[in-house]
Amino acid sequence: MHEMAIAQGILDIALAQAVEHQGEKIHLVHVQIGAMTGIEPQCLLVAFEALAAGTLAAQATLEIEAVPLTSCCRDCQHMFSPAAISFTCPACGSAAVEIITGRELRVVHLEVD
Ligand SMILES: [Zn+2]
Protein backbone atom coordinates (compact mmCIF):
# COMPACT_ATOMS: atom_id res chain seq x y z
CA MET A 1 0.00 0.00 0.00
CA HIS A 2 2.35 2.72 -1.21
CA GLU A 3 -0.65 4.90 -2.09
CA MET A 4 -0.41 6.49 1.38
CA ALA A 5 3.12 7.77 0.68
CA ILE A 6 2.13 8.91 -2.82
CA ALA A 7 -0.94 10.72 -1.45
CA GLN A 8 1.26 12.44 1.13
CA GLY A 9 3.60 13.60 -1.62
CA ILE A 10 0.72 14.98 -3.67
CA LEU A 11 -0.73 16.72 -0.64
CA ASP A 12 2.65 18.26 0.25
CA ILE A 13 2.99 19.68 -3.26
CA ALA A 14 -0.57 21.01 -3.26
CA LEU A 15 -0.20 22.64 0.17
CA ALA A 16 3.16 24.20 -0.70
CA GLN A 17 1.72 25.69 -3.89
CA ALA A 18 -1.40 26.95 -2.13
CA VAL A 19 0.75 28.73 0.47
CA GLU A 20 2.94 30.17 -2.25
CA HIS A 21 -0.14 31.69 -3.93
CA GLN A 22 -1.59 32.82 -0.59
CA GLY A 23 -4.48 30.42 -1.09
CA GLU A 24 -6.89 29.70 1.70
CA LYS A 25 -8.56 26.68 0.27
CA ILE A 26 -7.71 24.06 -2.32
CA HIS A 27 -10.67 23.07 -4.50
CA LEU A 28 -9.14 20.72 -6.97
CA VAL A 29 -5.92 18.78 -7.42
CA HIS A 30 -5.39 17.22 -10.82
CA VAL A 31 -2.79 14.49 -11.03
CA GLN A 32 -1.52 12.26 -13.81
CA ILE A 33 -0.85 8.68 -12.87
CA GLY A 34 0.85 6.42 -15.38
CA ALA A 35 -0.09 2.77 -15.76
CA MET A 36 3.50 1.76 -14.88
CA THR A 37 3.25 3.24 -11.39
CA GLY A 38 0.92 0.48 -10.25
CA ILE A 39 -1.13 2.94 -8.24
CA GLU A 40 -4.77 2.08 -7.61
CA PRO A 41 -6.76 5.30 -8.14
CA GLN A 42 -9.39 4.23 -5.61
CA CYS A 43 -6.76 3.61 -2.91
CA LEU A 44 -5.12 6.93 -3.71
CA LEU A 45 -8.44 8.77 -3.36
CA VAL A 46 -9.11 7.22 0.04
CA ALA A 47 -5.57 7.92 1.27
CA PHE A 48 -5.67 11.50 0.02
CA GLU A 49 -9.00 12.16 1.69
CA ALA A 50 -7.72 10.80 5.01
CA LEU A 51 -4.49 12.84 4.90
CA ALA A 52 -6.15 16.05 3.66
CA ALA A 53 -8.56 16.22 6.59
CA GLY A 54 -7.84 19.32 8.67
CA THR A 55 -5.63 20.92 5.99
CA LEU A 56 -6.29 23.53 3.28
CA ALA A 57 -7.10 20.59 1.02
CA ALA A 58 -9.81 19.12 3.24
CA GLN A 59 -12.52 19.94 0.69
CA ALA A 60 -10.39 19.35 -2.37
CA THR A 61 -11.37 17.00 -5.15
CA LEU A 62 -8.55 14.78 -6.26
CA GLU A 63 -8.90 14.34 -10.00
CA ILE A 64 -6.92 11.40 -11.30
CA GLU A 65 -5.99 11.20 -14.94
CA ALA A 66 -4.84 7.72 -15.86
CA VAL A 67 -2.06 7.74 -18.44
CA PRO A 68 -1.89 4.53 -20.45
CA LEU A 69 1.32 2.72 -21.18
CA THR A 70 2.78 3.52 -24.59
CA SER A 71 5.96 1.98 -25.90
CA CYS A 72 8.06 2.54 -28.96
CA CYS A 73 10.34 0.02 -30.62
CA ARG A 74 13.85 1.35 -31.21
CA ASP A 75 14.42 -1.04 -34.09
CA CYS A 76 11.30 -0.50 -36.23
CA GLN A 77 9.78 2.62 -34.58
CA HIS A 78 6.51 0.79 -34.07
CA MET A 79 4.38 2.51 -31.40
CA PHE A 80 2.12 0.32 -29.33
CA SER A 81 0.13 0.21 -26.12
CA PRO A 82 0.79 -3.10 -24.45
CA ALA A 83 -2.15 -4.45 -22.46
CA ALA A 84 0.30 -5.87 -19.94
CA ILE A 85 3.75 -4.55 -19.27
CA SER A 86 5.67 -6.10 -22.10
CA PHE A 87 9.12 -5.37 -23.34
CA THR A 88 8.93 -7.04 -26.71
CA CYS A 89 7.85 -5.31 -29.91
CA PRO A 90 4.72 -6.97 -31.36
CA ALA A 91 5.73 -5.95 -34.90
CA CYS A 92 9.32 -7.20 -35.12
CA GLY A 93 9.93 -9.04 -31.84
CA SER A 94 12.77 -6.73 -30.79
CA ALA A 95 13.43 -6.28 -27.10
CA ALA A 96 14.77 -2.74 -27.65
CA VAL A 97 11.55 -1.16 -26.49
CA GLU A 98 11.36 2.25 -24.94
CA ILE A 99 8.59 3.37 -22.61
CA ILE A 100 7.14 6.66 -23.83
CA THR A 101 4.24 7.19 -21.43
CA GLY A 102 3.02 5.38 -18.35
CA ARG A 103 5.59 6.50 -15.76
CA GLU A 104 3.85 9.79 -14.98
CA LEU A 105 3.22 10.74 -11.40
CA ARG A 106 2.73 14.44 -11.13
CA VAL A 107 0.47 17.23 -9.98
CA VAL A 108 -0.57 18.95 -13.19
CA HIS A 109 -3.04 21.52 -12.02
CA LEU A 110 -4.42 23.05 -8.84
CA GLU A 111 -7.43 25.22 -8.15
CA VAL A 112 -6.95 27.42 -5.11
CA ASP A 113 -8.90 30.28 -3.59
ZN1 LIG B 1 9.84 -3.39 -33.59
Model pLDDT, residue 73: 96
Phi, psi (degrees; rounded to nearest 5) at 59: -100, 5
pLDDT tens column, 91-103: 999 999 999 999 9
Going from the Cα of 92 to the center of ligand 1, the distance in angstroms, rounded, reads 4
Going from the Cα of 84 to the center of ligand 1, the distance in angstroms, rounded, reads 17
Going from the Cα of 60 to the center of ligand 1, the distance in angstroms, rounded, reads 44
Going from the Cα of 106 to the center of ligand 1, the distance in angstroms, rounded, reads 30
Model pLDDT, residue 87: 78
Going from the Cα of 39 to the center of ligand 1, the distance in angstroms, rounded, reads 28
Going from the Cα of 104 to the center of ligand 1, the distance in angstroms, rounded, reads 24
Model pLDDT, residue 110: 95
Going from the Cα of 77 to the center of ligand 1, the distance in angstroms, rounded, reads 6
Going from the Cα of 96 to the center of ligand 1, the distance in angstroms, rounded, reads 8
Model pLDDT, residue 85: 64
Model pLDDT, residue 49: 97
Q: What is the mean pLDDT of residues 2-23?
A: 95
Burial 84-104 (b: 16+ CB within 10 A, else e): eeeeebeeeeeeebebebbeb
pLDDT tens column, 43-93: 999 999 999 999 999 999 999 999 999 999 999 999 999 876 667 999 999
Q: At what angle do helices 3-20 and 41-52 cross, to 10 degrees?
A: 50
Model pLDDT, residue 1: 56
Model pLDDT, residue 2: 86
Q: Is the pLDDT of residue 22 over 90?
A: yes
